[in-house]
Amino acid sequence: MVHLASRGAYGVPRVHAELRRLGHEVNRKRIERLMREHGIAGITRRRRRSLTRPDKQARPAPDLLGRDFTADRPGTRLVGDITYLLTEEGWLYLACWLDLATREVVGYAMADHHRADLVVDALQMAHGRGRLEPDCIAHSDRGSEYTSAQFRSEATRLGMRASTGRTGSCYDNAAAESFWAVLKAEIGARIWPDRATARGEVFSFIETFYNRRRLRKHPSWGYLTPHETRQRHTLAA
């Protein structure tokens, strides 16, 4: 049941952690044996094709993270990126912003294009609901959407600092890349009948599963959801 509730995504470590959270003291090796005997396995992530298209005329913001994808507290460092979902009506593009302290998706937007408007809309959502601190860093790749005057201007207006990694280096935005791998692995890489259906599934994944139910191992606090991680930070403040 735990494996099914995770959309078939959880392997042995997360199944074990979830059972312990539910009050069941089960040996991890037993879980591993039972899952193997029944042919149950977690989802393996696949690499995705990057959407990054640099604007050769733009002057990208400096890299303020230097591949340090950690944060002492929420609202200080965000990472953003764009991915795409194929529907029978055409592509649906999704822009997200993750808080590095909690790995919570604090802002997202979807559209049939990936112009600067898309990432700006997601940034505005993050600012409105993410409880961001002044000078919060908004880190991304060097795609033209993020180096555009529109995005830079909006980041400044919101009291944020833009930051970009190097062109063509997925390691310079590894935290965002990791989230896309989770998204594609857990909702599946398929063709949706229309954009509305894809939008609904993305919304459900982010709001009801990923932020509030999906477990991630915190280096100090063990397995927690992004929402629980934010609560822990609040209590520790």
Task: DSSP for 91-115, please give it.
Answer: EEEEEEEEETTT--EEEEEEES--S
The pLDDT score that the predictor gives to residue 159 is 97
Per domain, the residue ranges of the chain are 2-43, 77-228
Class of domain 77-228: alpha beta
What percent of the chain has a predicted confidence (pLDDT) above 70? 73
Helix (H) or strand (E) holding 223: strand 222-224
Who's near 10: CB < 8 A, 6+ residues apart?
2, 3, 18, 42, 215
Summarize pLDDT for 64-95 with one digit per residue, the tens: 999 899 999 999 999 999 999 999 999 999 99
Q: Residue 214 above 70 pLDDT?
A: yes
185-208 average pLDDT score: 91
HSE, side-chain direction, 13 A CA sphere, residue 200: 6
First CA to last CA across the chain, in angstroms? 36
HSE, side-chain direction, 13 A CA sphere, residue 134: 0
Give the three-class secondary structure for 231. Answer: helix
Q: Residue 231 above 70 pLDDT?
A: yes
Higher-pLDDT residue of 146, 130 = 146
Q: Which residues pair with 97 in a beta bridge?
A: 80, 107
43-64 average pLDDT score: 63
The whole-angstrom separation of Cα 152 and Cα 32 is 49
CA angle 221, 12, 96 (to 5 degrees): 60
Question: Residues of 163-183 as b/e, b for ≥16 C-beta within 10 angstroms?
Answer: bbbeeeebebbebbbbbbbbb
For the chain, give the number of residues: 237
Q: Which residues pair with 92 in a beta bridge?
A: 85
The pLDDT score that the predictor gives to residue 149 is 94
Who's near 30: CB < 8 A, 6+ residues apart?
none
Q: Rounded mean pLDDT of the chain?
A: 84
Residue 51 confidence class, pLDDT cut points 50, 70, 90: low
Q: Which of 24-38, 102-116, 145-159, 215-229 has the lowest mean pLDDT?
A: 24-38
pTM: 0.77
The pLDDT score that the predictor gives to residue 131 is 86
Higher-pLDDT residue of 96, 23 = 96
Residue 184 confidence class, pLDDT cut points 50, 70, 90: confident
Higher-pLDDT residue of 175, 28 = 175
The whole-angstrom separation of Cα 117 and Cα 121 is 6
Q: Residue 11 above 60 pLDDT?
A: yes
Its sign, for the CA torsion 120, 201, 206, 50, is: negative
Residue 148 confidence class, pLDDT cut points 50, 70, 90: very high
